[in-house]
């Protein structure tokens, strides 16, 4: 579904936001894919891989937090507040986007299958980032597998809800378009 704009300047601003989202998402996704691949190779040859597993979990939420920020700039969630608990921000932003683009079924499917693991990993990420006890930083292969499952599902989810998302506008003349670009 395309967002319609009456003026070229607003459309160009939205295209910039969408481009930033795509660029940032792709960079962070690729980084995490590479980190997962390195971790898997290490797991075959090394006994201690905790630092790599912790890094994968942290990077997963770096990706998701970035997406939440940029998707909220594209489709602002009505009750969004940076001070809200992360899971609430995630739900608010993705629900708003999915409602605006008629992808509620995709969101509901993702949430019903993955939200429990998602919350568990987020809690673990918080403990890893802010450890209060030695056990807070302990990880294992099962947690790594869960992270991979959530990452795969999340990646598919983002592709599904962003496919067909775009900007639509009309211009009265080429000079209107040229002026809008020059005045950005």
* Domain residue ranges of the chain, discontinuous segments joined by +: 2-182
User: What pLDDT was estimated at residue 184?
Assistant: 64
Q: What is the mean pLDDT of the chain?
A: 91
And the tokens for 114?
A: 């993955």
User: What pLDDT was estimated at residue 50?
Assistant: 96
Cα dist from 27 to 39, 54, 62, 71, 114, whole Å: 18, 19, 11, 16, 23
Would you say residue 101 has pLDDT above 70?
Answer: yes
Which residue has 């390195």 as its token pair?
38
Would you say residue 135 has pLDDT above 80?
Answer: yes
Single pTM value for the model: 0.89
Would you say residue 74 has pLDDT above 80?
Answer: yes
User: What pLDDT was estimated at residue 9?
Assistant: 79
Would you say residue 1 has pLDDT above 80?
Answer: no
Would you say residue 89 has pLDDT above 70?
Answer: yes
User: What pLDDT was estimated at residue 177?
Assistant: 65
User: What pLDDT was estimated at residue 79?
Assistant: 84
- Asked if 24 contacts 69 with a C-beta cutoff of 8 angstroms, the reply is no
């Amino acid at each position: 579904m395309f967002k319609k704009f009456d003026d070229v300047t607003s459309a160009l601003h939205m295209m910039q936001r969408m481009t930033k989202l795509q660029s940032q998402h792709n960079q962070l996704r690729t980084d995490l894919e590479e980190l997962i691949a390195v971790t898997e190779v290490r797991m075959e040859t090394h006994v201690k891989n905790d630092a790599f597993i912790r890094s994968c979990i942290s990077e997963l939420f770096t990706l998701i937090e970035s997406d939440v920020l940029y998707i909220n700039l594209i489709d602002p969630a009505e009750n969004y507040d940076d001070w809200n608990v992360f899971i609430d921000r995630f739900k608010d932003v993705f629900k708003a986007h999915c409602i605006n683009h008629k992808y509620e079924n995709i969101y509901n499917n993702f949430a019903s299958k993955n939200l429990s693991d998602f919350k568990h990993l987020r809690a673990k990420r918080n403990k890893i980032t802010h450890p209060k006890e030695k056990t807070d930083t302990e990880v294992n292969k099962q947690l790594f597998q869960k992270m991979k499952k959530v990452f795969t599902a999340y990646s598919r989810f983002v592709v599904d809800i962003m496919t067909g998302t775009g900007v639509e506008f009309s211009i009265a003349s080429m000079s209107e378009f040229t002026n809008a670009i020059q005045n950005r």
